[in-house]
Structure 1
Amino acid sequence: MALRIHISERQRRFGAELRRLREGAGLAVKDAGALVGMGGPQLSHIEAGRTGLDPDRLTVLLDAYGHTDETYAAALHRMGLSNGKGWWSAFKGFVNASALDLAEAESTATALSSYETLLIPGLLQVPRYSEVILSGDEKKVAFRRSRQQVIDQGGAVPFHAVIHEAALHTRFGGPNAMRDQLDHLVEVSELPHVTIQVLPFRCTDYVSTGTPFMIVHGPHRDLDTVLTEHPGGTSYLSEQAEIDVYQSKFERLKSFALPALDASRPLRSRVEHDSWGLIQHLRYTL
């Protein structure tokens, strides 16, 4: 079988999980390969994501590695069997590979946790806002709109967003577009599986992160992934220690942010500052 030239994040992660399990079991790559009738170099290619592994051999390796968690094993089998195709495949060549990887990861997520500093999260953007962010690229705007199906009522993947107040003060697309964007945040927050909080300027605690990130929660905790955005592009983090750091950061962000958007609460009951009140204030200043 020819080795892959382009390795998707899912393929890379599948191989990385096999390597992590093998090393945890204390087996050398040549010894593990021998268990499934292949040489060490061939198993190394699999662990690097350059080629796949059939389900029967995966089962043998999981047994040899002493991994008995059925939920994890089933998720790893699905990851290895996936052909990587989905609605995002139609956008290949129009958006970068990292974006395609993100869409594929979101499609199998059990929950999503997002922190944004200067922009509204892509899953919550209205078209006019996205058009400015994406320089009017119709394909990229359509791709972003398609991504949003993951939190539509039908998909119902739990989504929790913490948005820095700075993102609400920008007026990408002009006052009318930003007004539509703020209205959309209120509307989508009414979905039972969507939670939106605003981290206000007046927050006096330091959360030690100025980097936007999203935690893509997998079908098993060991398969969670963190995406970080930086000038050089998007990075995918999968080491458990790294994920724990960002999970802790997100919990702190939630605790420092204003209470979640809840348009159903009567005005008279809003004795404290909350995300809904701040958004309404900003809306009427546009």
Structure 2
Amino acid sequence: MTVAARTPTGRRMQLAVLLRRLREQARLTQGDAGRSVWPSSSAASVQNKIARLESGDAGIKLEDLRSLLAVYGVQDAAVTDLALQLQSGLSQRGRWTGFRAVHDDATRRYIDLEEDATLIRLVAAEVVPEILQSPSYLRAEHPATRADAPELQAKLARQRTVLLRPDPAQFYAVLSESCVRRTQGDDAVLREQVAHLISLSRRPHITIQLVPFRPRGPVRPIARTGLLERFALLRLTTPEVPGKLPEHLDYAFTKSGADLTFSDHVRHYETLWTEATAAALTPAETRAFLTTVLNELD
């Protein structure tokens, strides 16, 4: 049985998928399922409740969840226990306080899913993505901010939680060459950053590839804008249901300036990911290239 996600956002998404599969297995429509649990509500209202529940946009009360499981004919105690465990971990109360309060709602959703992801893929241009930034590069990005400021604490904590925990996700990053050519702060900062990327790339769960200024082949984002489009793809595992093959759930997020946006166009970004990796140097070539850049900075 799938282990419950660490965060409330991840658990809500897992519960959404689990309940959708159970409804489909019971061969019920969303309207039929909703009317069985909320018989006094309108047809449109109950269908909307189930739809929002199955998309992860809404939670469900414990008593309603028990009723829904009964409607679906769930008799497997392990499935029931998983559903109840996921429902009990949906509260966000008190999680975004202290230095974590600096994050806006969109970033909070991303950070939760990033923490729960088993596979993280991101593409970045011009600036090294926050999760890969060395401490001095991170401070250079916020020159007017004290070293102990909440913003910096939050970003460093995110790196520890995602990249450096004992059971990390598989992490892949494709960066434009401009990320390691653009001076952030001064040459000493860039030198530390490049060395940091080399060090991270030696970890077994981290793969870093660089797209040189002259890529290997036609890459649509480069051909269109001259830069790689910045985005992230996150993959979560989903709960197993007897009789159903395990699946995964993919999410896409785009980055424009400081704004992080959830996107429904996962297939589009899967295509861009394939194109970016095809244009990039191999991991070994990337490490050699970064070593050359580091030597040039000495």
Same fold (TM over 0.5): yes
53 and 251 in structure 1: CA distance in 2 versus 1, 3 angstrom threshold: farther
Residue number among 36, 44, 50 corresponding to 2:48 in the alignment: 44
**Partner amino acid for 1:44?**
N
**Alignment correspondent of 1:234:** 260
| Aligned mates of 1:56, 1:169 — CA distance in 2 | 57
Give, as a single letter, the amino acid of the residue that structure 1 aligns with 2:157.
Answer: S
**2:236 paired with 1:218:** yes
1:117 aligns with 2:136: no
1:145 alignment partner, one of 156, 162, 184: 156
Query: Quick one: distance in 2 between partners of 1:131 and 1:257?
Result: 28
Q: How far did 1:59 drift? A: 3.3
Question: Higher mean Cα deviation, 93-102 or 45-54?
Answer: 45-54
- Work out the CA distance in 1 between the residues paired with 2:128 and 2:168: 20
Aligned pair in 2 of structure 1 residues 232, 259: CA closer, same or farther (>3 Å)?
A: closer
**Matched position secondary structure for 2:120:** strand
Q: Matches of 1:235 and 1:120 in 2, distance apart? A: 18
Aligned: 1:256 with 2:279: yes
Cα distance in 2 for residues equivalent to 1:125 and 1:180: 10
The 1-side partners of 2:119 and 2:141 are apart by 25
2-structure distance, mates of 1:227, 1:207: 20
Paired with 1:47 and 1:186, the residues of 2 have a C-alpha distance of 45
> Once the 2 structures are TM-superposed, how far is the Cα of residue 230 of structure 1 from its aligned partner?
1.8
| TM-superposition CA deviations, 1:150-198 (whole Å, max 9, x none) | 1115232211111111111111121001100000111111111111111
Deviation at 1:255, TM superposition (A): 2.3
Give the AA of the match of 1:125.
Q
Post-superposition shift, 1:46? 6.3
State the Cα RMSD in Å: 3.7
Secondary structure of 2:86 counterpart: helix
Return the match for 1:94 from 102, 121, 129. Answer: 102
Instruction: Provide the rounded CA distance (Å) in 1 between the counterparts of 2:171 and 2:94.
Output: 21
Q: Which amino acid aligns with 2:69?
A: T
Q: Deviations over 1:67-115 (max 9, x none)?
A: x9x99x9589737743246875543532222222222112211111111
The equivalent residue for 2:225 is none
- The aligned counterpart of 1:183 is 195
Paired residues for 1:71-110 under 5 Å? 78=86, 81-84=89-92, 89-110=97-118
Indicate the residue corresponding to 2:184 in structure 1: 172
Q: How many residues align?
A: 258
- CA shift in 2, pair 1:222/1:153, >3 Å: closer
Q: What runs of 5+ residues in structure 2 fail to find an aligned partner?
A: 1-7, 222-227, 239-246
Contact 1:162-1:254 within 8 A present in 2 as well: yes
Query: What letter matches 2:141 in structure 1?
Result: I
CA contact (8 A) 1:212 1:228 kept: yes
Farther off after superposition, 186-195 or 48-57: 48-57
DSSP-derived class of the 2:237 partner: coil
Report the CA distance shift for 1:247/1:111 in structure 2 as closer, same or farther (over 3 A). same
Alignment equivalent of 2:294, drawn from 279, 283, 286: 283
Q: Structure 2 CA distance, aligned partners of 1:130 and 1:75?
A: 40
TM-superposed CA distance for 1:28, in Å, is 5.2
The normalised TM-score by structure 1 is 0.74
CA shift in 2, pair 1:103/1:28, >3 Å: closer
| Distance in 2 separating the partners of 1:206 and 1:60 | 54
Shift of 1:228: 0.8
The one-letter code of the counterpart of 2:170 is: P
Given that residues 114 and 214 in structure 1 are in contact (C-alpha distance below 8 angstroms), is that contact kept between their aligned partners in structure 2?
yes
Choose the corresponding residue for 1:247, options 270, 275, 296. Answer: 270
Distance 1:169 1:52 in 2: 50
What does residue 3 of structure 2 align with?
A: none
Q: Deviation digits for residues 109-146 of structure 1, max 9, x if unmatched? A: 11111111122122111122112324544212111111
Residue 33 (1) aligns with residue 53 (2): no
**Higher alpha-carbon deviation: 146-155 or 16-25:** 16-25
1:37 partner letter: W
Q: Aligned partners of 1:183 and 1:194: how far apart in 2?
A: 15
Q: Match for residue 265 of structure 1?
A: none
SS of corresponding position for 1:83? coil
Contact 2:106/2:262, CA 8 A, preserved across alignment: no
